[in-house]
Structure 1
Amino acid sequence: MAEKISTKQAFLEKIAGRKHVNGSAWVIVSADGTVEGVGPKGGPISGDWSWEGDYYCRTIVFDGEPMLKDYQAVTLDGNTVTYTRDKGTGVSMSWTLS
Structure 2
Amino acid sequence: MKRFAAAMLCAGFALPAGAETTEDLLAEILDRQLGTGAVTATIHADGTISGDFHGKVMGGAWHIEDGFYCRSLTLDGEPLGQEDCIAILRDGDGYRFDGERGTKAGHVYRPAE
Matched, 1:60 2:34: no
Structure with bigger gyration radius: 2
Distance 1:12 1:48, change over 3 A: same
Q: Which amino acid aligns with 1:56?
A: Y
> Which 10-residue stretch deviates more, 13-22 or 80-89?
13-22
| Paired residues for 1:17-96 under 5 Å | 17-40=31-54, 42-63=55-76, 64-96=78-110
More helix by share: 2
Q: Which amino acid aligns with 1:19?
A: Q
| CA distance, structure 2, for counterparts of residue 95 and residue 33 of structure 1 | 19
Gaps of 5+ in 1: none
Q: Give 1:65 shift.
A: 4.2
Deviations 1:19-66 (A, max 9, x none): 1111121010011110001102x0111000001122000011135342
Gaps of 5+ in 2: 1-17
Instruction: Please point out which of 21, 27, 34 is paired with 1:6.
Output: 21
Large movers: runs of 4+ above 4 Å? none
Higher relative contact order (CA 8 A, sep 6+): 1
Alpha carbon RMSD of aligned pairs, Å?
1.9
State the identity %: 26
Q: Which amino acid aligns with 1:74?
A: I
- Preserved CA contact (<8 Å) 1:4 1:76: no
- TM value normalised by structure 2: 0.73
- Preserved CA contact (<8 Å) 1:4 1:75: no
- TM value normalised by structure 1: 0.83
Instruction: Please point out which of 11, 15, 30 is paired with 2:29.
Output: 15
Q: How many residues align?
A: 94
- Preserved CA contact (<8 Å) 2:91 2:108: no
